[in-house]
């Protein structure tokens, strides 16, 4: 969908289409036009039936495959789909290329994820009298330079820009102005409004509120039932506030979890996997120049019972070995050493921008990272992972 009206709208939301799957198609042109599903493959390249779909190309979505769906279900819906393991480093590199293009147009970018962010044009009225055209140019340049398609929504608030982007998908551009806002937004189901999850949706349904228009017309009831949350919903439905994104825009946590190839109660199978997850979290913290001081370990056992344990530290944990020590100590507090484990996860939160104090350590890390980028993940490995015997790992992005 392309709207080519001439107008200045100050906020754009940009989101890459089927990001992981599109990168895979870009890296391997023979996958173009094919249903590509990221997930369901172990590090050795063997197909497995565990874990969930990280993302699916639009060709696969036609068969009903969606993010978060169990792999076995995706295989049933799309037996001829191309299932791939995924490669976070590539996704990171592509994301960087995309945001480098964006940076040429505005320095005011709030990147909320690897593949999405808000672009602000306030103050650029003279330079860009027509932000619809600029958004089109950005999409075009991303297509030409990076080879990916991005959808963009434009609006007068973050909420309208985000909704416009969702409606424009895939490979589209939609501008929501004061002139067309009500006709586009009001008929939508309330679930399209950021801040309305399944719980709020159920409460609203009980009040006979199913569309955004109902919500706007029943301001008193929602404020009565939902308090401040209700008032905020009303404001974002009327397109005049940005409240839902003020906190959420910043990355709050970085985590990895993995479903094992087989359930296990062997330390020498589980711990190297936990270490590998710590290594990836640590890598991403460094790449994003962040430190963390709160850590959460998740353990799911063979009965699917899931437990988590969290610990916060006064100072950030700044070395991989320390992160692993924290993770393993939390893990052992959750695990009785007998129960078979199905999944482990580690999440780092309370993130802060990294100071450059420890230059020496930073240089070592950067060199390790460069080696990994050049020669592949396996080139530098901790002695700890060498102790893994023949335990295979299944690494899925969840
Ligand atoms: P999204 O932007 O939510 O999804 P998408 O880019 O695949 O598809 P589209 O935007 O066109 O609807 O997420 C961006 C990437 O983040 C996605 O390609 C895979 C990853 N991801 C996960 O790993 N797990 C998840 O649960 C979700 C939603 C996304
Ligand atoms: Mg996306």
Averaged pLDDT score across all residues of the chain: 86
Taking the centre of ligand 1 as the mean of its atom positions, its distance from the CA of residue 16, in whole angstroms, is: 9
Global model pTM greater than 0.85 = no
- The first and second tokens of residue 106, run together, are 């505005």
Task: Using the structure block, give the residue that is written with the tokens 């602000």.
Answer: 120
- Answer yes or no: 220 catalytic: no
Q: What is the pLDDT of residue 42?
A: 83
Q: Examine the pLDDT at 109 and tell me if it is beyond 80.
A: yes
For atom 20 of ligand 1, which residue has the closest CA?
54
| Listed range (93-102, 315-324, 333-342) with the worst mean pLDDT | 315-324
Q: What percent of the chain has pLDDT over 90?
A: 57
Q: Are 149 and 143 in contact (CB under 8 A)?
A: yes
For atom 4 of ligand 1, which residue has the closest CA?
18
Please state the rounded mean pLDDT for residues 173-195: 93
Please state the rounded mean pLDDT for residues 28-50: 91
Q: In a mutational test of the pocket of ligand 1, which residue from 16, 26, 53, 55 has the highest number of ligand atoms less than 8 Å from its CB?
A: 55
Please state the rounded mean pLDDT for residues 358-368: 58
Taking the centre of ligand 1 as the mean of its atom positions, its distance from the CA of residue 61, in whole angstroms, is: 12
Taking the centre of ligand 2 as the mean of its atom positions, its distance from the CA of residue 76, in whole angstroms, is: 24
Taking the centre of ligand 1 as the mean of its atom positions, its distance from the CA of residue 55, in whole angstroms, is: 6
Q: Is the CB of 18 under 6 A from ligand 1?
A: yes
- Distance set, CA 294 to CA 46, 297, 310, 333 (Å): 35, 10, 7, 16
Q: Is the CB of 169 under 6 A from ligand 1?
A: yes
Please state the rounded mean pLDDT for residues 186-199: 92
Structure-model confidence comparison of residues 262 and 371, the more confident one: 262
Q: What is the pLDDT of residue 241?
A: 59
Q: 306: number of CA atoms within 13 Å, CB side?
A: 9
Q: Is the CB of 19 under 6 A from ligand 1?
A: yes
For residue 170, give the ligand 1 atom closest to its CA: 11
CA gap 114, 23 in Å, rounded: 12
Q: Are 57 and 111 in contact (CB under 8 A)?
A: no
Q: Is the CB of 68 under 6 A from ligand 1?
A: yes
Residue (of 356, 353, 275, 355) closest to 321 by Cα position: 275
Q: Examine the pLDDT at 176 and tell me if it is beyond 90.
A: yes
Residues 132, 134, 135: CA angle, nearest 5 degrees:
65
CA gap 368, 391 in Å, rounded: 24
Please state the rounded mean pLDDT for residues 61-80: 96
Q: Is the CB of 128 under 6 A from ligand 1?
A: no
Q: What is the pLDDT of residue 247?
A: 39
- Distance set, CA 164 to CA 134, 143, 206, 246 (Å): 16, 20, 27, 19
Q: pLDDT grade, residue 194 (50/70/90)?
A: confident
Structure-model confidence comparison of residues 165 and 126, the more confident one: 165
Q: Is the CB of 275 under 6 A from ligand 1?
A: no
Q: Are 273 and 344 in contact (CB under 8 A)?
A: yes
Q: Which of 116, 284, 377, 394 is catalytic?
A: 116
CA gap 344, 156 in Å, rounded: 42
- Dump pLDDT digits (tens) for 4-17: 456 889 999 999 99
Q: Examine the pLDDT at 3 and tell me if it is beyond 70.
A: no
Q: What is the pLDDT of residue 283?
A: 83
Read off the DSSP letter of residue 146. I
Task: Using the structure block, give the residue that is written with the tokens 């062997």.
Answer: 266
Taking the centre of ligand 1 as the mean of its atom positions, its distance from the CA of residue 206, in whole angstroms, is: 31
């Amino acid at each position: 969908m392309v709207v080519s009206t001439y107008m200045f709208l100050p906020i754009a939301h940009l989101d890459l289409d089927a990001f992981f799957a599109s990168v895979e198609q870009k890296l391997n042109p023979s996958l173009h036009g094919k249903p590509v599903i990221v997930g369901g493959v172990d590090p050795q390249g063997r197909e497995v039936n565990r874990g969930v779909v990280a993302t699916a190309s639009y060709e696969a979505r036609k068969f009903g495959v969606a993010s978060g769906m169990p792999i076995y279900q995706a295989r049933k819906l799309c037996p001829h789909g191309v299932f791939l393991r995924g490669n976070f480093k590539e996704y990171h590199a592509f994301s960087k290329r995309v945001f480098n293009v964006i940076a040429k147009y505005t320095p005011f970018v709030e990147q909320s994820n690897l593949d999405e962010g808000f672009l602000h044009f306030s103050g650029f009225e003279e330079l860009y009298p027509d932000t619809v055209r600029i958004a089109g140019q950005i999409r075009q340049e991303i297509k030409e330079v990076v080879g990916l398609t991005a959808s963009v929504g434009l609006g007068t608030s973050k909420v309208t820009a985000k909704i416009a982007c969702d409606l424009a998908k895939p490979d589209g551009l939609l501008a929501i102005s004061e002139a067309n806002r009500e006709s586009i937004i009001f008929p939508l189901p309330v679930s399209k409004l950021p801040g309305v999850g399944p719980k709020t949706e159920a409460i609203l349904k009980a009040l006979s509120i199913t569309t955004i228009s109902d919500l706007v017309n029943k301001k008193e009831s929602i404020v009565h039932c939902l308090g401040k949350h209700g008032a905020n919903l009303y404001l974002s439905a009327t397109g005049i506030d940005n409240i839902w994104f003020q906190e959420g825009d910043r990355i709050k946590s970085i985590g990895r979890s993995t479903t094992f190839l087989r359930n296990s109660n062997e330390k020498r199978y589980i711990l190297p996997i936990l270490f590998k997850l710590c290594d990836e979290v640590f890598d991403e913290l460094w790449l994003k120049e962040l430190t963390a001081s709160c850590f959460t370990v998740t353990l799911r056992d063979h009965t699917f019972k899931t437990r988590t344990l969290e610990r916060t530290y006064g100072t950030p944990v700044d070395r991989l070995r320390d992160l692993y020590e924290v993770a393993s100590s939390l893990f052992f507090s959750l695990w009785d050493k007998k129960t078979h484990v199905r999944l482990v996860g580690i999440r780092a939160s309370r993130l802060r921008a990294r100071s450059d104090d420890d230059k020496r350590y930073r240089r070592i890390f950067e060199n390790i990272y460069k080696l990994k980028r050049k020669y592949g993940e396996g080139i530098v490995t901790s002695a700890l992972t060498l102790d893994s015997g023949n335990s295979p790992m299944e690494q899925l992005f969840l």
